[in-house]
Structure 1
Amino acid sequence: MSDDKTLTKIPHFDGHYDHWSELMENLLRAKGLWSLIENGFEEPKQETRLTEAQQAQLDDAKTKDHPVKHYLFQAIDTVFEQILDRRTAKIVWDSLKKKFGGNLKVKKSLLNALRREFEVLEMKRDETITEYFARVMVVANKMRSNGEEMTDTKIVEKILRTLTDKFTYVCVSIEESKDIETMSVDELQSTLVVHEQKFRRVHREDEDQVLKIEGRSNSTSRGRGSYRGRGRGRGRAVFNKATVECYKCHDLGHFQYECPNSSKEANYAELEEEDELLLMAYVELHETSRSDAWFVDSGCSNHMCGNSKMFSSLDTDFTHSVKLGNNTRMKVTGKGVIKLFLQGVCYTVSDVYCVPELKNNLLSVGQLQEKGVAILFKDGVCSLYHPLKGKMAESVMSANRMFILLGETPTTVVNENCFQVGSTDESILWHNRYGHLSYKGLHTLTDKNMVFGLPKISTPTSPCEACVKGKQHRNPIPKRSNWRATE
């Protein structure tokens, strides 16, 4: 008996009553104790006299009720104090069912939430087939426990719709070769797991091939003086790097890609321990001369702008210096705030350095991410997402592989004014409202009370200019021409 108790794993109550009650019922049925939960027993009143058989039956029920309560108390240790009446196991079970089982309205609300969760389920790119099936089945089992009819066909169709792009041709082949209506979830999972293992094997072979190619490229030499054997079966001479001539500087002892005199134009950030300087990438684009152009730069350590007029507020007491990728230095004359307009929305860019010698404006990717802005580089497009306002702007990669944002600064925004034309003469106003109706017609409407609220109309002294132009007659067409062509 002790061995049986030690091997028994009691399901712990986690707030999900339907799932827990199913596991607990199975455990109690296996122990032969479910009748105490289903039927229970009642203690007789003190005045009632029982026979020996009835008393023995009552004592046996009480004895068996203690193990059931022991299992329940171990399972509900987190909500044990919420159960007030704990006399019998049936009373404890019914109390849990009332508190956490919920009524029909609660189950319906929970089922609606589960339906929405089931609809928006999608496989993630870095997720395996087994992990995705586990997520789907957890939601499906919760829906089943709340009364939803979840057939295997419904789950299979859902999974085939929401797999990643690399499984597209697999889904098409499954739909063409097998009957989805009779296919089980386990059968679909085993089929997809086999294809997933094939994908991994092909991916590993590609990586091994890439490593082999890199190893061969590293063993090849570039430059004059490299030894190349001729013919078959001849021995190889010992490679001497001192005899290699660089194609760049024509010095001996190194290859072209190792040349110390080669100037690399790529953007980079440099850190020196001696000088506490700010880092930025060197950008020089002669074709871009607009002052409202901002370059999204991952090598720039801080936002920078060369036009002091673009700052809405500038602290000139702040001074610093920055070091570029070509080892030149520029002086920072201040730090301030710039209001940048992107797609009609004003954004405040703070902690921007004013560098008068800088020809282009730079937006630091690192500083944007510190402010909570999400930056996505995909398919040659850079997209910026505000944590609250959503998508801020996007930039298509230029010919020289740069991402440029064209915005509007407060200096370039033109104040738009709205003008209103007013008229004090109500007669002219109603004349215009009725589509330039004649004043005689307006008088008729007033005298015969054909329009309620129409004021007394008086004929103005000056005629309506629009009516005069509309009633002009064209000049008559002459019947005879004043001149004739001689030829």
Structure 2
Amino acid sequence: MAEETKYNHTKVPKFDGYYEHWAMLMENLIRSKELWSLIEPGITVAPPDATAAQLQAIEALKLKDLKVKNYLFQSIERSIMEIILVRTTSKDIWDAMKHKYQGSTKVKRAHLQALKREFEVLEMKDNESVEQYFARTLAIANRMSAQGQTLQEVKVVEKILRSMSPKFNYVVCSIEESNDVTTMSIDSLQSSLIVQEQRMKRQVEVTNEQALKISNLKRGFGRGRGRSNGGRGRGRGRQSKEFVECFKCHKLGHYQSECPENEGNVHYAEYNDEEEMLLMAKTNQELKVNAIEPWFLDSGCSNHMICHHDWFIDFDNSHRDSVKLGDD
């Protein structure tokens, strides 16, 4: 009973059209069960004058042969099994499969040519990871080896390097310049590319996080900063905070920069009723680009500042206010 339970849980390889690979796995399975003698040489036909002991031994072999046939029945699809005319013993089935899928040189050559074409046009997909692409490439290379075409390791390395997705272009150039590709192993190449892939992912995560912070800052400064009633059309008059909504906690009475829920990790410009503080970009006086002082423009600003009076086309000399930059 224990032997039967163990037998029922045996994982049998499925025939997927690649005979050499399937035959290798099946032979290993049958040999591990000590049943390969049923395939080679097979069951001997009992002689006419067989003794009782000989007949008993042959019957025992036939019982074991049923187990091997059961493995083959599980492994081979019904459509293929139906075209095998003689299947009295496991040896009959094995020889029929060998004759059909291995015996024809023309079939093997056709399979190999198809695999070569698949290998030549192989390209890494944009959404594919390094590990996934290596697995797909090596699977084709192993099937080619099973058909008698063994690829040298350098051929696989060169193929992978020239077929990586465009985002790896600078990585490939760096690897080719700093290593001798002809002596580089597949495992070494895979390790290098995985390390670079992880760095690229971290850079994207940091960039996205920074973009989100900038977006939140812009929305925080823009919300609730309307002009006060009766104030100047062009300027930012002082206004009551009674109806100002905080963009962070959505409560009235304060701006996001003053929100008590802030964790103190963002430097906001200050604004209050006593003294108006305007958010401005700041540059050092020493900074010159081709003798032209640069401007840092914000298209959403009502007012702009520069130390050159003659640069303004429209200047309101009557408007006075205090300004505090982000660095205090």
Q: Percent same amino acid at aligned positions? A: 46
2:72 is aligned to 72
TM normalised by structure 2 equals: 0.64
State the alpha-carbon separation in 2 of the partners of residues 174 and 55 from structure 1: 69
Task: Provide, for residues 355-397 of structure 1, a one-character-per-residue CA deviation record: whole Å limited to 9, x for no partner.
Answer: xxxxxxxxxxxxxxxxxxxxxxxxxxxxxxxxxxxxxxxxxxx
State the alpha-carbon separation in 2 of the partners of residues 220 and 214 from structure 1: 10
Alignment of 1:196-235 (within 5 A): 196-221=197-222, 223-225=226-228
Task: Give the Å deviation of 1:130.
Answer: 1.9
TM normalised by structure 1 equals: 0.44
SS at match of 1:132: helix
**Rg comparison, structure with higher value:** 1
Task: Give the Å deviation of 1:228.
Answer: 8.2
Pair 23,205 (structure 1): closer, same or farther in 2 beyond 3 Å: same
1:24 is aligned to 26
User: Aligned to 1:240, which of 225, 240, 244?
Assistant: 244
State the alpha-carbon separation in 2 of the partners of residues 133 and 227 from structure 1: 63
Task: Give the Å deviation of 1:85.
Answer: 1.0
SS at match of 2:125: coil
- Unmatched 5+ stretches in structure 1: 230-235, 243-255, 258-487
Pair 192,28 (structure 1): closer, same or farther in 2 beyond 3 Å: same
> Which is richer in helix?
2
2:141 is aligned to 140
Task: Provide, for residues 89-146 of structure 1, a one-character-per-residue CA deviation record: whole Å limited to 9, x for no partner.
Answer: 1110111122233511221122122112111111122221122122212221221111
Q: Is the 8 A contact 1:86 1:92 kept in 2?
A: yes
Pair 239,187 (structure 1): closer, same or farther in 2 beyond 3 Å: farther
- Letter of the structure 2 residue corresponding to residue 201 of structure 1: R
State the alpha-carbon separation in 2 of the partners of residues 53 and 182 from structure 1: 62
Alignment of 1:59-98 (within 5 A): 59-78=59-78, 79-98=80-99
SS at match of 1:122: coil
Q: Is the 8 A contact 1:227 1:237 kept in 2?
A: no
Pair 122,65 (structure 1): closer, same or farther in 2 beyond 3 Å: same
Q: Is the 8 A contact 1:11 1:20 kept in 2?
A: yes
Task: Give the Å deviation of 1:27.
Answer: 1.2
2:105 is aligned to 104
- Letter of the structure 2 residue corresponding to residue 40 of structure 1: G
Task: Provide, for residues 61-93 of structure 1, a one-character-per-residue CA deviation record: whole Å limited to 9, x for no partner.
Answer: 222211101111111142222222111111101
Pair 189,35 (structure 1): closer, same or farther in 2 beyond 3 Å: farther
State the alpha-carbon separation in 1 of the partners of residues 182 and 50 from structure 2: 61
Task: Provide, for residues 308-364 of structure 1, a one-character-per-residue CA deviation record: whole Å limited to 9, x for no partner.
Answer: xxxxxxxxxxxxxxxxxxxxxxxxxxxxxxxxxxxxxxxxxxxxxxxxxxxxxxxxx
> Which is richer in strand?
1
Q: Is the 8 A contact 2:101 2:107 kept in 1?
A: no
State the alpha-carbon separation in 2 of the partners of residues 25 and 228 from structure 1: 88
Task: Report which structure shows greater RCO (CA 8 Å, sep ≥6).
Answer: 2
1:312 is aligned to none
- Letter of the structure 2 residue corresponding to residue 60 of structure 1: A
State the alpha-carbon separation in 2 of the partners of residues 164 and 29 from structure 1: 44
Task: Give the Å deviation of 1:223.
Answer: 5.0
Task: Provide, for residues 29-85 of structure 1, a one-character-per-residue CA deviation record: whole Å limited to 9, x for no partner.
Answer: 22111222232123135xx21245544442332222111011111111422222221
Task: Provide, for residues 165-205 of structure 1, a one-character-per-residue CA deviation record: whole Å limited to 9, x for no partner.
Answer: 22223223333444434433233223212221211111111
Alignment of 1:70-469 (within 5 A): 70-78=70-78, 79-221=80-222, 223-225=226-228, 240=244
Task: Give the Å deviation of 1:214.
Answer: 0.4
Q: Is the 8 A contact 1:125 1:164 kept in 2?
A: yes
Pair 238,43 (structure 1): closer, same or farther in 2 beyond 3 Å: farther
SS at match of 2:39: helix
- Letter of the structure 2 residue corresponding to residue 67 of structure 1: K
Pair 15,169 (structure 1): closer, same or farther in 2 beyond 3 Å: same
Q: Is the 8 A contact 1:122 1:162 kept in 2?
A: yes
- Letter of the structure 1 residue corresponding to residue 49 of structure 2: R
Q: Is the 8 A contact 1:38 1:90 kept in 2?
A: yes
- Unmatched 5+ stretches in structure 2: 229-235, 246-251, 253-298, 301-328
- Letter of the structure 2 residue corresponding to residue 32 of structure 1: E
Task: Give the Å deviation of 1:148.
Answer: 0.3
- Letter of the structure 2 residue corresponding to residue 49 of structure 1: D
State the alpha-carbon separation in 1 of the partners of residues 184 and 54 from structure 2: 55
1:480 is aligned to none
